[in-house]
């Protein structure tokens, strides 16, 4: 029974990892840029949720879409103001620019909120669902299900709609996309918007059951990197499966080996998997 | 007035010269061949017309109006489509998705099903494979798809970069037969080719490029009979 509980807990958290990582993998897939500020986007969204709850007294039905919207805007602005320019520079400039952006965001938050941990009232989505001895916190259940649905929706958007087809066209061959009459810039801005919005929703959902601090994005972005690597760079379904797998591995290892060791297990398996299949477990060779 | 006329076109890649002085004219309804050895500047010329590389000098006139330096999407909207060297298909997407992408700039969206039908009539093979991933197709099928994708925007002028490259002779015959059929339907074609023989067979007019400049021009028959062209390009 404990196994079922652990696996379910892991899958719910894993779904949030999947959504978070889908944003990262989309941006990578579109333009081969690693967004090192992705964790700080998550952090930003958590503060958006916090501010919305404390000042507007709204629930997740409103603050999750709000965080998505705000972060979408952040993503688009970041693309036009920063990324578009540094794309012309060397690889190192691209890496350092998103890294620098992340630093600015987190220290701006230190400045506004100081280093104190804050959290949303746990009565916001309180209570526990009990089925057949399985105990699921409503907050995590909500987060997991919403994240899973949105990740699936992103995949369907990319593979089944004309807009998705254009995004994938720019991702595969920017010049060919231009030839058929697609303007790459708006598509890349859109990818940044959607990618950041994924981080935004994930952050707002995580805030339901996790503390908030300016550095909270650090551990999350590492998980996202691991997920993207395992799932294959640029693949949303890959991110989904890898995210779920990592959630379950975390959950199992923190129970059986100890919470302090779960990160060692996850990153250890990550290195092992990369060593075996550098293109990602689910990536194309 | 020519449909397209290029005057003293120059394109630079940094310090390198892509083309220095390309001059040519394409009349409506014609097939015009752009010949020249590897590196002569055929691709650069077509890419400049298509808006992929900005010209450093010269003029590109489309129906009498300058279009040089316009971005690619505006060139497509004006009725010029390029089937590029190496096809550059969206290999991760289906045949049909590739064709639909070709219609991105089709102003009248109601025309899209008719364009699809047209392409599928030209290339029944593509209709059979419409759900297949473009990356899994043979060279000949890829050439058909590249042509089909370019035709989806309902162009007035089709630019073709080395349509015979890497294809088996039988497939090349098919491709050229299709080009003649497109011409009969009223399309104008500008065709870059290294292998001059076939191109001169179908071309109404041809231009020969050498190290980035137009050095010869004439009707297909004139150039096919020209001793210099025969020696340089036709192997005797
Ligand atoms: N992207 C590029 N960067 C630098 N030089 C280029 C590039 N593309 C073509 N060139 C140069 O421009 C000249 C013309 O090339 P190209 O237009 O490809 O000729 P062709 O298509 O006739 O073989 C060549 O000298 C080639 O080396
Ligand atoms: Mg060429």
Which tens digit of pLDDT belongs to each residue from B37-73?
Answer: 999 999 999 999 999 999 999 999 999 999 999 999 9
Instruction: Tell whether B119 and B214 lie within a shared domain.
Output: no
Could you identify the residue written with the tokens 């030209």? Answer: B122
Taking the C-alpha atoms of residue A200 and residue A139, their distance in angstroms, rounded to an integer, is 17
List beta partners, residue B158.
B81, B189
In a domain, B135, yes or no: yes
In a domain, B141, yes or no: yes
Tell me how far CA of residue A230 lies from CA of A253, B74, B231, in angstroms: 18, 40, 57
Q: B167-226 pLDDT, tens per residue?
A: 999 999 999 999 999 999 999 999 999 888 889 999 999 999 999 999 999 888 888 888
Q: How high is the pLDDT of residue B49?
A: 98
* Residues in the 5 Å CB sphere of ion ligand 2: B 42-43, 85
Looking at the structure of chain A, the number of domains it has is: 1
The mean pLDDT value for A39-58 works out to 96
In a domain, A130, yes or no: no
Mean pLDDT (chain A) is 93
In a domain, A120, yes or no: no
Ligand 1 center–CA B13 separation, angstroms:
8
Instruction: Tell whether B124 and B219 lie within a shared domain.
Output: no
Q: How high is the pLDDT of residue B110?
A: 93
DSSP H helices in B136-195: 139-151, 169-184
Domain ends where: B154, B174, B207?
A: B154
- Please count the other Cβ atoms lying within 10 Å of the Cβ belonging to residue A233: 18
Q: B117-153 pLDDT, tens per residue?
A: 999 999 999 999 999 999 999 999 999 999 999 999 9
Could you identify the residue written with the tokens 């720019």? Answer: A170
Q: Which two tokens stand for residue A184?
A: 């790459």
Q: What is the CATH number of the domain that holds B27?
A: 3.40.50.300
List beta partners, residue B4.
B26, B62
Q: B45-55 pLDDT, tens per residue?
A: 999 999 999 99
In a domain, B196, yes or no: yes
Q: Which two tokens stand for residue B61?
A: 């006139």
pLDDT at B235 over 70: no
pLDDT-based confidence at A267, cuts 50/70/90? confident
Q: Which two tokens stand for residue B9?
A: 């076109």
Q: How high is the pLDDT of residue B181?
A: 97
Instruction: Tell whether B48 and B63 lie within a shared domain.
Output: yes
The mean pLDDT value for A156-165 works out to 97
Instruction: Tell whether B111 and B165 lie within a shared domain.
Output: no
Looking at the structure of chain B, the number of domains it has is: 2
Q: What is the DSSP letter of A56?
A: I
In a domain, A143, yes or no: yes
Q: What is the maximal distance between C-alpha atoms in chain A? A: 59
Taking the C-alpha atoms of residue B131 and residue B80, their distance in angstroms, rounded to an integer, is 27
Length of chain A: 285
Q: A228-240 pLDDT, tens per residue?
A: 988 888 889 999 9
In a domain, A282, yes or no: no
The mean pLDDT value for A255-270 works out to 86
DSSP B128-147: HTTTSBGGGS-HHHHHHHHH
Distance from CA of A181 to the nearest CA of B (A): 4
pLDDT-based confidence at A284, cuts 50/70/90? low
Task: Answer yes or no: are the C-beta atoms of B38 and B202 closer than 8 Å.
Answer: no
B100 touches chain A (CB under 8 A): yes
Q: What is the DSSP letter of B70?
A: -
pLDDT at B75 over 60: yes
Hey, what's the torsion of the CAs at A60, A203, A239, A82, to 10 degrees?
A: 130
Q: How high is the pLDDT of residue B236?
A: 47
Task: Answer yes or no: are the C-beta atoms of B93 and A180 closer than 8 Å.
Answer: no
Cβ pair B104:A173 closer than 8 A: no
Instruction: Tell whether B150 and B164 lie within a shared domain.
Output: no
Which ligand 1 atom is nearest residue B209's CA? 22
Task: Answer yes or no: are the C-beta atoms of B209 and B17 closer than 8 Å.
Answer: no
State the distance between the two ends of chain B, measured CA to CA, in whole angstroms: 36
Tell me if B38 CB under 6 Å of ligand 1.
Answer: yes
Q: How high is the pLDDT of residue B233?
A: 66
Give the domain range for residue B126: 89-154
B101 touches chain A (CB under 8 A): yes
Buried b (16+ CB within 10 A) or exposed e, A61-95: eebbebbbebbbebbbebbeebbeebeeeeeeebe
DSSP B19-40: EEEEEEEE-TT-EEEEE--TTS
Give the domain range for residue A160: 2-115+135-276
B115 touches chain A (CB under 8 A): no
Instruction: Tell whether B43 and B70 lie within a shared domain.
Output: yes
Task: Answer yes or no: are the C-beta atoms of B14 and B167 closer than 8 Å.
Answer: no
pTM as predicted = 0.93
Cα A250–A251–A257 angle (5° rounding)? 80
Ligand 1 center–CA A39 separation, angstroms:
43
Ligand 2 center–CA A59 separation, angstroms:
60
Taking the C-alpha atoms of residue B114 and residue B90, their distance in angstroms, rounded to an integer, is 22
Instruction: Tell whether B73 and B160 lie within a shared domain.
Output: yes
Task: Answer yes or no: are the C-beta atoms of A25 and A234 closer than 8 Å.
Answer: yes
Q: How high is the pLDDT of residue B96?
A: 97
Instruction: Tell whether B160 and B222 lie within a shared domain.
Output: yes
Task: Answer yes or no: are the C-beta atoms of B210 and B36 closer than 8 Å.
Answer: yes
Q: What is the CATH number of the domain that holds A67?
A: 1.10.3470
In a domain, B42, yes or no: yes
Pick from B78, B74, B63, B72: nearest CA to B27: B63
Residues of A in contact with B51 (CB under 8 A): 178
Q: A5-36 pLDDT, tens per residue?
A: 999 999 999 999 999 999 999 999 998 899 99
Instruction: Tell whether B54 and B143 lie within a shared domain.
Output: no
In a domain, A128, yes or no: no
Taking the C-alpha atoms of residue A189 and residue B139, their distance in angstroms, rounded to an integer, is 34
Pick from B97, B46, B100, B79: nearest CA to B154: B79
Chain B stretch 135-154, residues whose beta carbon is closer than 8 A to a beta carbon of chain A: 149, 152-153
């Amino acid at each position: 029974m404990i196994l079922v509980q652990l696996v379910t807990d892991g899958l719910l958290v894993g779904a949030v990892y999947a959504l978070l990582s889908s944003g990262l993998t989309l941006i990578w897939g579109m333009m081969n840029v690693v967004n090192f500020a992705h964790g700080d986007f998550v952090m930003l969204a958590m503060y958006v949720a916090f501010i919305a709850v404390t000042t507007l007294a709204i629930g997740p039905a409103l603050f999750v879409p709000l965080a998505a919207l705000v972060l979408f805007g952040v993503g688009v602005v970041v693309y036009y103001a920063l990324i578009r320019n540094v794309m012309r520079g060397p690889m190192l400039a691209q890496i350092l620019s998103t890294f620098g952006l992340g630093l600015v965001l987190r220290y701006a938050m230190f400045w506004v909120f100081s280093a104190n941990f804050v959290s949303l009232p746990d009565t916001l989505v309180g209570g526990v669902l009990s089925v057949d001895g399985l105990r699921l916190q409503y907050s995590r259940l909500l987060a997991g299900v919403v994240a899973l649905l949105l990740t699936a929706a992103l995949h369907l958007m990319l593979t089944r709609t004309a807009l998705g087809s254009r995004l994938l066209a720019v991702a595969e061959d920017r010049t060919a996309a231009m030839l058929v009459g697609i303007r790459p810039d708006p598509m890349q801005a859109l990818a940044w918007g959607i990618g950041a919005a994924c981080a935004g929703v994930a952050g707002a959902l995580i805030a339901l059951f996790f503390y908030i601090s300016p550095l909270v994005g650090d551990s999350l972005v590492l998980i996202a990197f691991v997920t993207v690597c395992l799932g294959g760079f640029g693949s949303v379904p890959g991110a989904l499966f890898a995210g779920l797998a990592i959630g379950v591995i975390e959950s199992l290892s923190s129970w059986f080996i100890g919470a302090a060791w779960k990160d060692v297990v996850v990153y250890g398996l990550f290195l092992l998997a990369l060593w075996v299949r550098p293109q990602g477990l689910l990536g194309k060779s | 007035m020519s449909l397209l006329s290029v005057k003293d076109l120059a394109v630079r890649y940094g310090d390198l010269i892509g083309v220095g002085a390309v001059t040519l004219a394409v009349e409506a309804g014609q097939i015009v061949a752009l010949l020249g050895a590897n590196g002569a500047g055929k691709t650069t010329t077509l890419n400049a017309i298509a808006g992929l590389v900005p010209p450093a000098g010269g003029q590109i006139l489309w129906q009498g109006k300058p279009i040089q330096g316009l971005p690619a999407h505006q060139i497509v909207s004006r009725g010029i489509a390029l089937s590029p060297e190496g096809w550059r298909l969206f290999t991760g997407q289906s045949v049909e998705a590739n064709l639909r992408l070709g219609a991105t700039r089709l102003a009248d969206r109601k025309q899209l099903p008719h364009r699809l039908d047209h392409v599928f009539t030209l290339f029944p093979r593509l209709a059979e494979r419409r759900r297949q991933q473009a990356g899994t197709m043979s060279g000949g099928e890829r050439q058909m798809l590249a042509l089909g994708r370019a035709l989806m925007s309902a162009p007035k002028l089709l630019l073709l970069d080395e349509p015979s490259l890497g294809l088996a002779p039988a497939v090349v015959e098919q491709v050229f037969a299709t080009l003649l059929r497109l011409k009969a339907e009223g399309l104008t074609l500008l065709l870059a080719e290294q292998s001059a023989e076939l191109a001169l067979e179908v071309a109404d007019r041809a231009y020969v490029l050498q190290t980035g400049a137009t050095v010869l021009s004439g009707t297909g028959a004139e150039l096919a009979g020209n001793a210099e062209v025969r020696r340089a390009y036709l192997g005797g």
